[in-house]
Structure 1
Amino acid sequence: MRVRQAVRTRAVEVGLGLVDQTKIITAASELARNTLDYGGGGEVRVDVVHEGARKGVRLSFEDHGPGIADIAQALTDHYTTGGGLGLGLGGAKRLSNEFHIESTPGVGTRVTIARWK
């Protein structure tokens, strides 16, 4: 809930419309849950970013969990290792303007997303 509130605050601050706010908040919620459920917890950064005339919100989720052995497979809809619907990572990617994931088995995972105005 704290992540959702922080993301909402930053999204409003940069002037994202309601649809874009909902998209970035939903993606953040999915990634925060993954960080807890699969990564054993971790850290999230919520930043307002400016690139030229555009403004946005960039989120970075990092854990030191078991990592993801096959990122392409993990991004495939309905693939899950935890019994869920298997839409979290792929859904977060579709809800974001930018999506980057890096993971090393045994070391952890970092997912960075952004939504631009």
Structure 2
Amino acid sequence: MDLKSCVDINQEWDIVKARQLGRAKARGIGFGTVDQARLATAVSELARNLYLYADRGKICFEITDELDRKGLCVISLDVGPGIENISRVMEDGYSTSGGLGAGLPGVKRLVDQFDIHSEEEQGTEIRAIKWLR
């Protein structure tokens, strides 16, 4: 993974940096403005979750080529407490922070592929891919 394509999420301002890098990567591979906005929103949600719930983490970007299609993979990595009940956090309206609960289910709706892996006390890895149309 190209380390220049990652943003460490340690403070609130890092959420903005990750969002800006995600939008720039999306624009760079040819996404239109609507899909750029979708990706930027997904990145914001993932980065905000890292800031709120993980001890430390990062958002990384990979350009993905698969079967004659290109996309942007957003990877959220942390070494935080992990997610105890993934199916629960994937329910619309569920929130542990008093927010709207649109977080991870919202991210899943904004992208074409969504995968989450988490282990308690080991951290969480989320991969979200948006394919270029």
Shorter-chain TM-score above 0.5: yes
Shift in Å at residue 115 of structure 1?
A: 0.6
Three-state SS of the structure 1 residue aligned to 2:81 is: coil
Report sequence identity in percent.
41
Structure 1 outlier segments of 4+, above 2 Å = none
Distance (Å, rounded) in 2 between the aligned partners of 1:7 and 1:33: 14
Shift in Å at residue 59 of structure 1?
A: 0.9
Three-state SS of the structure 2 residue aligned to 1:106 is: coil
Q: Is structure 2 residue 47 aligned with structure 1 residue 32?
A: yes
Name the residue aligned to 1:14: 29
Higher relative contact order (CA 8 A, sep 6+): 1
Q: Is structure 2 residue 104 aligned with structure 1 residue 89?
A: yes
Q: Is structure 2 residue 64 aligned with structure 1 residue 49?
A: yes
Which structure 2 segments of 5+ residues have no match? Answer: 1-15
Distance (Å, rounded) in 2 between the aligned partners of 1:82 and 1:106: 19
Q: Is structure 2 residue 118 aligned with structure 1 residue 103?
A: yes
Shift in Å at residue 9 of structure 1?
A: 1.1
Three-state SS of the structure 2 residue aligned to 1:31 is: helix
Three-state SS of the structure 1 residue aligned to 2:106 is: helix
Pairwise CA RMSD: 1.0
TM-score by length of structure 1 reads: 0.95
TM-score by length of structure 2 reads: 0.84
